[in-house]
């Protein structure tokens, strides 16, 4: 069944945090290496995307846990799998393999769960994170005109990532945690070029990140400007994730829902981080806030970001099953 048809019938549930779950395994440096990397001179612990190659069993278990919790869509373990991000580990040459294997693992789990319950098809979203370099802002306060990366470099990086994710079996591409819209436009152009080259339609989810109470992403756009900037493509969904908890995210989801004909997604953090950088919000606390999204008819796709676990996703899935999806024609007061 096509995902667009399903979205007309019910709210779909996205998975939760990958990093939060990986931390539970208490992995060592050796887990991030295999025979090919045993003599790699750069420490690799913390390069979680690499685990799709070196510890695929861990990643597969996490995907399965989220599907068991009720997720319809899982994200590939590829948030930092462009050569831009992997350059920190001198693993630029591993980018295709990391993305391909990550998508392949996720697809295998999705196929297994779909086979066991054909009435609830499962989907894989290829996660394409923002990279660690911004195209529209300088990292040097003394040289505001300097850029650490060019648009063409980002176009190449995202293009290579997207091709590998699709080759590995991703059903959707998720351009997420957008802090700089220019970066995301490079990703969207790369995906559009691949769709044209291959003669296929690629469902695209786009998710921005409001970084503070000003209601703007890091590069300065407010929510409506962000929406306008990425609306040149026929997106599967547009939404917001990360940085904020559900309560803080709601006003900006109102804006998207009232001004967009796309499906609306949200995967907020489990509240705001405490002084130790940890997330304390329980599943019960989180769903009490997400219930307001659903009561107001704002959402088509809902999930979790930093700090969320299968317990959070189960609580969200149980709640969402009681609500119809947002109607695209519905006007919501901002």
Q: Residues 40-51: pLDDT tens digits?
A: 999 999 999 999
Tens digit of pLDDT for each residue in 238-270?
999 998 889 899 999 999 999 999 999 999 999
The pTM assigned to this predicted structure is: 0.95
Cβ atoms of 50 and 32 closer than 8 Å: yes
- Output the DSSP codes for 133-194: S-SSS-S-TT-TT--SS-HHHHHHHHHHHHHHHHHHT-SEEEEEEES-HHHHHHHHHHHHHH
Higher per-residue confidence, 147 vs 160: 160
Flag whether pLDDT at 204 surpasses 90: yes
Flag whether pLDDT at 199 surpasses 70: yes
pLDDT grade, residue 292 (50/70/90)? very high
pLDDT at 331: 42
Q: Which of 66-80, 193-207, 214-228, 296-310 has the lowest mean pLDDT?
A: 214-228
Residue 108 CA to residue 104 CA, distance in Å, equals 6
Q: Which of 58-67, 127-136, 235-244, 324-333 has the lowest mean pLDDT?
A: 324-333
Q: Which of 113-117, 211-215, 288-292 has the lowest mean pLDDT?
A: 211-215
pLDDT grade, residue 284 (50/70/90)? very high
Flag whether pLDDT at 213 surpasses 60: yes
């Amino acid at each position: 069944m096509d995902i667009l048809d399903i979205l007309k019938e019910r709210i779909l549930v996205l998975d939760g945090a990958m990093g939060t779950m990986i931390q539970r395994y208490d992995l060592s440096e050796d887990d991030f290496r295999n025979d090919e990397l045993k003599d790699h001179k750069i420490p690799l612990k913390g390069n979680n995307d690499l685990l799709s190659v070196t510890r695929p069993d861990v990643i597969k278990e996490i995907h399965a846990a989220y599907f068991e919790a009720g997720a319809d869509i899982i994200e590939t373990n590829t948030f930092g799998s462009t050569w831009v991000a992997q350059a920190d580990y001198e693993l630029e040459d591993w980018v295709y393999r990391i993305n391909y294997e990550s998508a392949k693992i996720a697809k295998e789990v999705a196929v297994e769960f779909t086979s066991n319950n054909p009435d609830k098809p499962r989907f894989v979203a290829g996660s394409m994170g923002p990279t660690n370099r911004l195209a529209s802002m300088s990292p040097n306060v003394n040289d505001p005109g300097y850029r650490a990366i060019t648009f063409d470099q980002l176009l190449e990086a995202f293009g290579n990532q997207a091709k590998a994710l699709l080759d590995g079996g991703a059903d959707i591409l998720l351009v997420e945690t957008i802090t700089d819209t220019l970066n995301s436009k490079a990703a969207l152009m790369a995906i559009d070029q691949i769709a044209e080259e291959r003669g296929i339609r690629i469902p695209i989810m786009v998710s921005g990140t409001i970084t503070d109470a000003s209601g703007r992403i890091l590069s300065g756009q407010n929510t409506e400007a962000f929406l306008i900037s990425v609306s040149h493509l026929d997106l599967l969904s547009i939404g917001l994730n990360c940085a904020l908890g559900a309560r803080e995210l709601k006003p900006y989801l109102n804006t998207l829902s009232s001004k967009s004909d796309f499906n609306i997604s949200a995967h907020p953090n489990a509240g705001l981080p405490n002084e130790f950088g940890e997330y304390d919000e329980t599943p019960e606390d989180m769903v009490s806030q997400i219930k307001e999204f659903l009561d107001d008819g704002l959402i088509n796709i809902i999930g979790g970001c930093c700090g969320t676990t299968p317990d959070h996703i189960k609580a969200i899935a149980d709640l969402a099953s009681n609500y119809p999806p947002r109607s695209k024609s519905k006007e919501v007061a901002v």
